Amino acid sequence: MRIVHIVDNILPVNIGIWKAAINTSAYLQEQMVSSILIHPNGQGGEVDGIIGKPTDTSLKQLQTLIDEGFFDKKNDIIVTHGCWQFPTKWGKYLKKQGFAWIYTPHGMLEPWSMQQKRFKKQVYFSIVEKNAINKADVIRAVGKPEMDNLNRLFPHKKIILIPNGVKLAKAIQFPQSGETNFLFMARLHHKKGLMPLLNAWLASSLHNKPEYNLYIAGPDDGEMSNMETLLQSAASTNIHYIGILNEQTKQAYFSKCRYYILPSFSEGFPTSVVETMAAGLVPVITDGCNFPEAFENGYAIKITTDVNSITNFLNQLKQLSANEWEEKRKNISEWVNKHYSLNTIASMQYALYKDLLITNN
């Protein structure tokens, strides 16, 4: 069996989607399931240890690949990631050729996202995207709220919930320096709530106190200039932009920080939240992060995207003892590792892929 993942790009601003697409590949390989990642030309070849297939994204090129025998109808399952781009067109075309197809929107059809460029999206969705989605064998939701929304949009389709996962990890020991540090790790985009967070921090009692720090990490996706202008005018000394984190520097900042904060307007299911929770950071998130389970189990702090909501949380920050912190981190990390490990997610995927391939043949 081979899983053919198709993504519209593997650039840093899209890392949440393409990493989520392939992060179980090594675990599936143990079940003799290989994986390949198809993406546009000019974006590299091998990606995170699995084979990458850079290609022209036209349907003509797709037909050429089919004619050359690149695809195997009896063994391949097509999994497309995201909306509006060539992966959907390719998925629909391959389904017409008899391939099994799983459509994964990654939160792009959530109500808030659909309100952005509303007219353009609604027209395209009604005429093109929805028609294509209805051809898919399965729609995969990555969070419970997304599953509810997809069931409303596609009441007659098979929709399966398989969340994103993370590698098993132990909670990192909390900082001994006496600092209370926060980490925002996401692309710098309006959707992620970066500017409300920065304005809230500047208005809070934590601003310019050396024992508190806010670290901003991620690639620019439209908000860098706004952030720089704001921070320069505010003369902030404890907000730090640290760029894009690789695995080594990521772990270093996980060990420096106690909270992960993401005041997002809308998500599918943000892997960054479960990744930082696996390291023991306390998530400070919105309903828009689509992770109600974290609230229900008492492992996340709820804020909204409103500046006052974030400011109030920062001003009322509760200080915990070292022992309380260690217990909290340990419980959060163990819960994530139990329910969202890549082993668990890969097992769910394998069951779906196996059933779908049998049904399709």
User: Across the beta sheet with 138-141, what order do the strands follow?
Assistant: 51-55, 34-40, 2-6, 76-81, 100-104, 138-141, 159-161
Quick one: 99 and 204 in the same domain?
no
Q: Is 218 helix (H, G, I), strand (E, B) or coil?
A: coil
Q: How confident is the model at residue 58 (pLDDT cuts 50, 70, 90)?
A: very high
- Is the residue at 172 inside a domain? no
Quick one: 157 and 248 in the same domain?
no
Beta-carbon contacts of 145 under 8 Å, excluding residues fewer than 6 positions away, are 110, 287, 290, 292
Quick one: 204 and 114 in the same domain?
no
Count of structural domains, the chain: 2
d(Cα 310, Cα 291) in Å, to the nearest integer? Answer: 18
Least confident of 9-23, 72-86, 163-177: 163-177
pLDDT of 51 > 80? The answer is no
Quick one: 30 and 156 in the same domain?
yes
Quick one: 128 and 260 in the same domain?
no
The string of pLDDT tens digits covering residues 172-231 is 776 666 788 999 999 999 999 999 999 999 999 999 999 999 999 999 999 999 999 998
- Is the residue at 173 inside a domain? no
Quick one: 51 and 149 in the same domain?
yes
Quick one: 149 and 247 in the same domain?
no
Quick one: 115 and 245 in the same domain?
no
Q: What is the structure's pLDDT at 176?
A: 62
Quick one: 194 and 334 in the same domain?
yes
Quick one: 148 and 197 in the same domain?
no
Q: How confident is the model at residue 89 (pLDDT cuts 50, 70, 90)?
A: very high
Quick one: 153 and 286 in the same domain?
no
Instruction: Return the CATH number at 327.
Output: 3.40.50.2000
Quick one: 198 and 286 in the same domain?
yes
Q: How many CB atoms lie within 10 A of CB 294?
A: 21
- Is the residue at 272 inside a domain? yes
Q: How many CB atoms lie within 10 A of CB 69?
A: 7
Q: Letter for the amino acid at 329?
A: R
Which structural domain, as residue segments, surrounds residue 217?
180-339
